[in-house]
Structure 1
């Protein structure tokens, strides 16, 4: 099992424009013919420059999981729909989508005139083949997990529409089409060949890619929305560590850097634009509810009230997060649960719940900063004796039955933004392979299924309230904050990004330009 399929640990690296691992290959991919075209933008200043590290995985749109590999392919490919920073759906290769009366069939209408960068039309056959590849039983695509238990079949409805038949009604299905690995590829695409022929229907053409150096792109003149792409191209530059990236940003070699604590302490932010592009993840605190001390609900509740959530927002997220209340409904999702008491640190309540006990446990994580801040907070609260075990990403997500992120008693795991009910199926459901809390509540699963099946606004509100109430009360997972992507950007860049430069926003550069 590849860990980045599920919690997507590269998200933290995306914020810092860094990722773990290196590609131990020496190759260069040049797309100066075929799908890549022959134009060159090397001499142009109207190029947006981003830092990356060498990907830790193969660069193939169907199987990429690493942030760096995702953006390398994502600048060339195009999804059916994408999300903006407010969480709203935007048409891309699809222009319309609607559900049947029973909620089991979604009809997605394709954009007329959209073509791949080799000039061939994008048809329903291409969409069908792409999603069949993502969801096949032997698929290695990280995107497969989003459709497990939801999508049954995909079929063409003529050349210009696609029928997605579901295993159960799922009213948020269009949101799943914005997920990782959902860029549309030609029906005859051979997995593993993308660097040889970087095909896609997106905004840019991959002109050159070199391990250890980076990638250059030029504008795709065949892109369906080419008039909105004002840049001549994009350049991805490889840097080996945070310090190198920071120095490059200060020297004006790159246009953006994630606003981490190191960056905030070093850079005069007033010299740059601070951009925020929406919610992107949670760092969930998973408690094994089958083993002491957290088999006791009062111990879980004491921990939830002992956390200084504002302190986490300030010290871990540099203020770029919203305090959360242990539920999986991001603030930009509708409906929002109502009727919950907002948890904040309450030492009197903690003392009452502990009733003289001391909770001794170890936090296991690959997120050192989060782990250290949380440990320090808790050890300052009477009744807590907390150790910390910080592992590398490879150690934390190691394959096997004893992988730490699923077996340690208390873990902190990074999960990318998802539909609220997906979190239930992935980390709360009794039969989920990624239920690190070993939690079970049949009512939660039943109510969530009802929530997915209905489109009635009043009923969805009532069900959302109940889902949140169960999550808030049972506390197998503590969700202290909703993280938002924030970066510093060179003032030469003009325009406002639709969302974060990530897969769910389709790496949207429309309306972005460079001021000479």
Structure 2
């Protein structure tokens, strides 16, 4: 049935391609040099545009073109200064001082001040904001205590000597602190407008000002939002586009069809069958995504609170078979840390520098289930697997259901959800088994392993493991790069190969369609996502 459904999708897309002339070599809906507008297809609306609020796909699309972080790293690992023009750090790496650009302005013409960065941090540390990235502020003095309601916000270890200087006081050294600066909670929100999470300021063009290359001029819920060039941007001469429109689509097939008909110029993360249809064509751009698709088992639900059950489910999944059905853009994964994340010190993939956490073994899985009191699946309760109603996730769910029945004789009930509902249920801990996908936010394994910490705001499944916490915490302040990687490998082995807190499924490549006339699109090294801030149409 799944293969037949995919075949239908291929046939439909091929028919559209023929009608629009794509197969005969025609270009897209815009002639070269005719426009300075770019239209991008993205998944359905999720979350806010507030860096201190509920972060999901919509914010991630918006922020890379509208907001400047203090600094970031380019593809060569070199610092690229954005909102900041320089920084210094003390000898023990606990005091970090950043000097902001004096010519940096918000899109309304007002100066970008240190207070704007602090504004985001303070609002994100209010648990009511629902920001999953708040725990990445915890290296700052008193941040965790503020989040837990134990101290007042004015005790946060952030000092503002003047409008152009931002000083972070850390509780202890943090080896990856500069990498954290690209996260939403370290991004500015204009104190003049950004009052509280959920007030609506973030999607109102009158108050949603930007300090990056583009700013919001229109937002139509569930349809699209429009960004226009920020004429007050400090680096505006390097910005060639006048406008970027992001259109929301409910499914990947609709995104691919929109590209074929000329409705959009860029469509990312498309179904794998698009790779076959566009093989050899310039439109097709396949990129490595630094992401892992996996399952969260809720440890507060019986019998998932039994490590033997979690291990049995993990070992019973045939990932090669799964990927062969889901698509050519997937690759079996047994790690939580993304397959394509590199160790910055060695240049090698992190996951290849250690033994695999586990090996699939159906016979052993059956033994474990019997040891847990469910021989041949007898008396095992029907668990519900919640997942977004996207094509890849729907196909994955069907395969998992069939494999677990075949290999363990257990039944799982499938519950497809709108993406936003799936996020909300997961954050609330309202699930038994839940699909999870994590694309790296910064170029360090900690972006994955920190989510399983007992105090992590992304720990939705009730993990409380002092031994694991100690390993990750030790890696935070370890200054020897080799030893630090050893600690992170130990932590992953414990979480994934001994306690089975997560069930890895597969790594991914991103199948993208981009008009060949569009140049200057780059790939963000930390996540693999595409960035359009300096894109242009070739004349």
Aligned to 2:520, which of 459, 472, 495? 495
Map of 1:366 onto structure 2: 387
Map of 2:95 onto structure 1: 105
Q: Relative to structure 1, is the Cα distance of residues 126 and 340 closer, same or farther in structure 2, using a 3 angstrom cutoff?
A: same
**What SS class does the counterpart of residue 406 from structure 1 fall into?**
coil
1:72-110 deviation per Cα after TM superposition (whole angstroms, max 9, x unaligned): 465332222345678876432124445433443222333
Structure 2 regions of 5+ residues with no counterpart?
1-32, 144-155, 345-349, 389-393
**What SS class does the counterpart of residue 224 from structure 1 fall into?**
coil
2:476 is the alignment partner of 1:455: no
Structure 2 CA distance for aligned equivalents of residues 328 and 396 of structure 1: 22
1:195-222 deviation per Cα after TM superposition (whole angstroms, max 9, x unaligned): 2144222112434444565344433343
Taking structure 2 as the reference length, the TM-score comes to 0.73
Map of 1:178 onto structure 2: 182
Structure 1 CA distance for aligned equivalents of residues 170 and 74 of structure 2: 25
Alignment of 1:54-133 (within 5 A): 55=45, 59-60=49-50, 62-63=52-53, 65-68=55-58, 70-72=60-62, 75-82=65-72, 90-133=80-123
Structure 1 CA distance for aligned equivalents of residues 338 and 85 of structure 2: 27
Q: How far off is 1:131 after superposition?
A: 2.8
Alignment of 1:478-493 (within 5 A): 478-493=503-518
Map of 2:354 onto structure 1: 339
1:229-268 deviation per Cα after TM superposition (whole angstroms, max 9, x unaligned): 2323322345566555433211122112234338638954
**What SS class does the counterpart of residue 285 from structure 2 fall into?**
strand
Structure 2 CA distance for aligned equivalents of residues 130 and 292 of structure 1: 39
Aligned to 2:289, which of 279, 290, 296? 279
Does the 8 Å CA contact 1:285/1:477 hold for their aligned counterparts?
yes
**What SS class does the counterpart of residue 66 from structure 2 fall into?**
coil
Q: Relative to structure 1, is the Cα distance of residues 56 and 378 closer, same or farther in structure 2, using a 3 angstrom cutoff?
A: closer
Q: How far off is 1:454 after superposition?
A: 1.6
Alignment of 1:379-418 (within 5 A): 379-381=405-407, 383-393=408-418, 396-397=422-423, 406=429, 408-418=431-441
**What SS class does the counterpart of residue 156 from structure 1 fall into?**
strand
Map of 1:8 onto structure 2: none
Q: Relative to structure 1, is the Cα distance of residues 461 and 75 closer, same or farther in structure 2, using a 3 angstrom cutoff?
A: closer
Structure 2 CA distance for aligned equivalents of residues 61 and 240 of structure 1: 24
Map of 1:467 onto structure 2: 491
Map of 1:200 onto structure 2: 210
Q: Relative to structure 1, is the Cα distance of residues 54 and 288 closer, same or farther in structure 2, using a 3 angstrom cutoff?
A: closer
Q: Relative to structure 1, is the Cα distance of residues 176 and 57 closer, same or farther in structure 2, using a 3 angstrom cutoff?
A: same
Q: How far off is 1:45 after superposition?
A: 1.2
Q: Relative to structure 1, is the Cα distance of residues 189 and 434 closer, same or farther in structure 2, using a 3 angstrom cutoff?
A: closer
Does the 8 Å CA contact 1:146/1:422 hold for their aligned counterparts?
no
Structure 1 regions of 5+ residues with no counterpart?
1-42
Moved more, 169-178 or 93-102: 93-102
Structure 2 CA distance for aligned equivalents of residues 413 and 506 of structure 1: 18
More helix per residue: 1 or 2? 2
Structure 2 CA distance for aligned equivalents of residues 343 and 469 of structure 1: 9
Q: How far off is 1:294 after superposition?
A: 4.2
**What SS class does the counterpart of residue 231 from structure 1 fall into?**
coil
Map of 1:27 onto structure 2: none
1:339-398 deviation per Cα after TM superposition (whole angstroms, max 9, x unaligned): 3236454345445655693244524112333322222233332x3323222142465455
How many pairs align?
Answer: 466
**What SS class does the counterpart of residue 279 from structure 1 fall into?**
strand
Aligned to 1:375, which of 376, 386, 401? 401
Structure 2 CA distance for aligned equivalents of residues 298 and 221 of structure 1: 59
**What SS class does the counterpart of residue 300 from structure 1 fall into?**
helix
Q: How far off is 1:164 after superposition?
A: 1.5
Moved more, 404-413 or 225-234: 404-413
Taking structure 1 as the reference length, the TM-score comes to 0.76
Aligned to 2:124, which of 134, 149, 170? 134
1:155-192 deviation per Cα after TM superposition (whole angstroms, max 9, x unaligned): 22444431112344322222222123644233423434
Structure 2 CA distance for aligned equivalents of residues 175 and 60 of structure 1: 20
Structure 2 CA distance for aligned equivalents of residues 435 and 235 of structure 1: 34
Map of 1:446 onto structure 2: 470
2:256 is the alignment partner of 1:226: no
Structure 2 CA distance for aligned equivalents of residues 162 and 404 of structure 1: 32
**What SS class does the counterpart of residue 522 from structure 2 fall into?**
coil
Structure 2 CA distance for aligned equivalents of residues 215 and 296 of structure 1: 46
Aligned to 1:427, which of 448, 452, 466? 452
Moved more, 84-93 or 365-374: 84-93
Does the 8 Å CA contact 2:304/2:310 hold for their aligned counterparts?
yes
Structure 1 CA distance for aligned equivalents of residues 118 and 428 of structure 2: 34
Task: Give the CA RMSD over aligned residues.
Answer: 3.8
Structure 1 CA distance for aligned equivalents of residues 320 and 297 of structure 2: 21
